[in-house]
């Protein structure tokens, strides 16, 4: 009797174990099939998406993320205009004196700077100072204004319609009569707001300056090598 019961129990145990093994195999095959079927779907998503390396390359070519040197090369010349040479002047820098030397200087943007405190004018081309002179300028009754002025008119043999005086090689800065022009540059002399320069200096500047070129007038702003001309 006990042998039959033991036999039945053993048979039941074996049957349960066999069923469990079959169930595990079925579950394993189902998961494997599910895993294999998920791969193509993932591959489709990857084919439609932008791979990560491509996104990184796009960021590098974006102007915002580009190298600062590359950005600087694309900027207008006026935005990166710096002093690359100062003229060597060994003679006394006195009223009536000027120096001009543009030999070997490359073509480029022309900018004129005037410092009323130093009573001087400088002409820069492509960042190289090509001309410098002592100036006369406005008096207390009609001071020379400071600021940035584009040259709005050129007149080789201009005569002032306000004062009736000659203004050779005139480069107009303002609509109310302020200009750069040739003048007798002497100590103690003043103008009615204009910037007077030696005759030959005025002629050379007149030949090179174009309408729209900037004249920067300051009162105590001296420029040195590497300084930006703004």
CA 147 to chain centre: 21
Classify burial at 78, counting beta carbons within 10 Å of its beta carbon; exposed 0-12, middle 13-18, buried 19 or more. Answer: exposed
DSSP 8-state code for residue 77:
G
pLDDT the model gives residue 164: 72
DSSP 8-state code for residue 1:
-
Rounded Cα–Cα distance for residues 53 and 114 (Å): 53
Rounded Cα–Cα distance for residues 149 and 141 (Å): 21
Domains in the chain: boundaries: 2-73, 81-218
| pLDDT tens for the chain, residues 1 to 230 | 444 444 444 444 445 455 555 454 444 444 444 444 333 333 333 333 333 333 233 232 222 233 333 333 443 544 457 899 999 999 999 999 999 999 999 999 999 999 999 999 999 999 999 999 999 999 888 899 999 999 999 999 998 877 778 899 999 999 988 999 999 998 877 788 899 999 999 999 999 999 999 999 999 877 777 777 76
pTM of the model: 0.64
Homologous superfamily of 81-218: L,D-transpeptidase catalytic domain-like (2.40.440.10)
Q: Which three-class secondary structure state does DSSP give residue 164?
A: coil
Neighbours of 169 (CB within 10 A): 24
Rounded Cα–Cα distance for residues 35 and 33 (Å): 5
pLDDT the model gives residue 18: 52
β-bridge pairing 179-182 and 195-197: parallel
pLDDT the model gives residue 80: 53
Rounded Cα–Cα distance for residues 191 and 216 (Å): 18
């Amino acid at each position: 009797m006990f042998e039959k019961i033991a036999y039945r129990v053993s048979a039941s145990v074996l049957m349960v174990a066999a069923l469990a093994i079959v169930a595990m195999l079925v579950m394993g095959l189902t998961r494997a099939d599910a895993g294999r079927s998920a791969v193509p779907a993932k591959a489709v998503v990857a084919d439609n998406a932008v791979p990560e390396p491509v996104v990184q390359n796009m960021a590098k070519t974006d102007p915002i993320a580009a190298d600062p040197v590359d950005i600087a090369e694309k900027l207008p010349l006026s935005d990166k205009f710096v002093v690359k040479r100062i003229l060597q002047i060994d003679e006394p820098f006195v009223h009536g004196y000027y120096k001009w030397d543009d030999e070997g200087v490359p073509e480029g943007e022309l900018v004129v700077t005037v410092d009323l405190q130093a009573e001087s004018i400088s002409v820069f081309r492509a960042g190289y100072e090509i001309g410098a002179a002592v100036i006369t300028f406005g008096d207390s009754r009609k001071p020379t204004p400071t600021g940035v002025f584009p040259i709005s008119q050129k007149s080789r043999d201009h005569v002032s319609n306000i004062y009736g005086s000659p203004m050779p090689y005139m480069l107009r800065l303002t609509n109310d009569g302020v200009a750069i022009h040739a003048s007798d540059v002497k100590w103690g002399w003043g103008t009615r707001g204009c910037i007077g320069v030696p005759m030959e200096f005025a002629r050379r500047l007149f030949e090179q300056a174009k309408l729209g070129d900037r004249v920067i007038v300051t009162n105590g702003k001296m420029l040195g090598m590497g300084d930006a001309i703004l």
